[in-house]
């Protein structure tokens, strides 16, 4: 609810009716301006609480428990919060009437600036953000996409490292230059697909490895659409590398 304000001219009227638009006062003696002031809410904080609850409990709370979880006094306040989150596209009602997260529920803020890896003249960001679900950055066809763990260093010169996770769209159609997940002569691998004399070959991106030329079987399982990597804390990574801390 907003607060309705009325501003009057300097000709104040003693003992005026608190609802002057109902009083018999000449129109010219009053200048009335009305506007709605939006009351600030804590929906961002409430959404964070619901995200953490869903991760821990694997289910969203009922309306009866929402008030206590969000620090609200009663069901009415919780209901209003949920309605706003539904309108914003973070939640939806299932056919059974229960609350369910939408694809945007875990959307992360994305800066509208580019983060440079080298030196830049200014380190400030404009601060503009837009909600972006992480999976949508990498996945175009969810029904035909799988995650494949990467093992080995045969693709390190292409930036694909041991321990990465490849986002693979399952398809038998691949073009020269695509990174593919393939089954070649009984071995699974991730390599770049190329052709030699119209015959497919799999090319590593590490000079220590040779091009794979299928002898018996080559089955393209899918095309790599993206790579996911999670970095450890610097101290643990340095310790693994044997560096002095």
CA distance 193 to 153: 17
Closest CA to 189 of 215, 218, 226: 218
Q: Is 191 a catalytic residue?
A: yes
Residue 38: its H or E element: none
Beta bridge partners of 131: 109
* 50 HSE (CA, 13 A, CB side): 27
Q: Which residues pair with 200 in a beta bridge?
A: 195
Residue among 42, 191, 207, 240 flagged as catalytic: 191
Which of 65, 154, 207, 237 is flagged as catalytic? Answer: 154
- Alpha-carbon distance 169 to 187, whole Å? 19
Nearest to 108 by CA among 62, 54, 149, 48: 48
Our answer to whether residue 154 is catalytic in this structure is yes
Give alpha helix (H) positions in 33-74: 43-57, 63-70
Q: Which residues participate in catalysis according to the annotation?
A: 154, 191
């Amino acid at each position: 609810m907003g607060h309705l304000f009325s501003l009057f001219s300097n000709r104040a009227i003693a003992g005026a009716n608190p609802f002057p638009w109902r009083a018999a006062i000449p129109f010219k003696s009053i200048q009335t301006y009305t506007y709605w002031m939006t009351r600030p809410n804590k929906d961002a904080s409430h959404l964070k609480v619901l995200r953490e609850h869903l991760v821990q409990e694997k289910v969203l709370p009922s309306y009866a428990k929402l008030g206590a979880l969000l620090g609200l006094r009663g069901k009415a306040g919780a209901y209003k919060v949920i309605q706003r989150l539904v309108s914003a596209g973070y939640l939806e009602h299932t056919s059974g009437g229960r609350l369910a997260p939408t694809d945007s529920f875990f959307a992360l803020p994305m800066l509208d600036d580019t983060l440079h890896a080298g030196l830049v003249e200014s380190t400030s960001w404009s601060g503009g953000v837009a909600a972006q679900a992480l999976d949508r950055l990498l996945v175009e066809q969810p029904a035909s996409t799988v995650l494949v763990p990467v093992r080995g260093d045969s693709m390190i010169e292409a930036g694909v490292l041991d321990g990465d996770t490849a986002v693979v769209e399952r398809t038998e159609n691949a073009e020269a230059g695509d990174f593919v997940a393939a089954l070649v002569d009984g071995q699974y691998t991730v390599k770049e697909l190329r052709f030699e004399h119209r015959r497919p070959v799999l090319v590593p991106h590490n000079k220590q490895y040779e091009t794979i030329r299928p002898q018996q079987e080559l089955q393209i399982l899918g095309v790599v659409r993206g790579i996911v990597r999670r970095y450890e804390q610097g101290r643990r990574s340095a310790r693994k590398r044997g560096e002095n801390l």
